[in-house]
Amino acid sequence: MAKLKVAILISGRGSNMAALIEAAKAADYPAEIALVVSNVAEAPGLAIARKEGVPTAVVSHRDRPDRETFDRAVSVELERHGVELVALAGFMRIFSPWFPTRWAGRLINIHPSLLPCFKGLHVQQQALDAGVRLSGCTVHFVIPDLDAGPIIAQAAVPVLADDTQDTLAARILRQEHRLYPLVVRWFAEGRVSLAGGRVAVTGAAPLLFSTDP
> What residue ranges bind ligand GRF (CB under 6 A)?
10, 12-17, 45, 89-90, 110-112, 137, 173, 176
Q: Please say whether the dihedral angle defined by the alpha carbons of residues 82, 177, 150 and 100, taken in this order, is positive or negative.
A: negative
Which listed residue (61, 81, 111, 140) is catalytic? 111
- The residue (of 112 and 181) whose beta carbon lies closer to ligand GRF is 112
Closest to ligand GRF by CB, 1 or 121: 121
CA dihedral for 131, 183, 108, 49, sign (positive or negative): positive
137 vs 203, beta carbon nearer ligand GRF: 137
CA distances from 179 to 18, 139, 182 (A): 13, 8, 5
Q: How many CA atoms lie within 13 A of 97 on its CB side?
A: 1
Identify the three-state secondary structure at position 135.
Answer: strand
Least Å distance between CB 10 and ligand GRF? 6
Q: Shortest gap between Cβ of 172 and ligand GRF (angstroms)?
A: 7
Q: Which residue is nearest to ligand GRF (CB)?
A: 90
Does 122 qualify as catalytic in the annotation? no
Q: Which is nearer to ligand GRF, 45 or 158 (CB)?
A: 45
Q: Strands (DSSP E) along the chain, which ranges? A: 4-10, 31-38, 56-58, 85-88, 107-111, 134-141, 151-158, 192-195, 198-201, 207-209
First CA to last CA distance, the chain? 39
Q: How far is the CB of 180 from ligand GRF (least distance, A)?
A: 9
The least CB distance from residue 201 to ligand GRF, in Å, is 20
Which residues are within 8 A (CB) of 66 and not within 5 positions of it... i.e. 6 or more apart?
96
Count of C-beta atoms within a 10 Å radius of residue 82: 10
| Residues acting as catalytic residues | 111
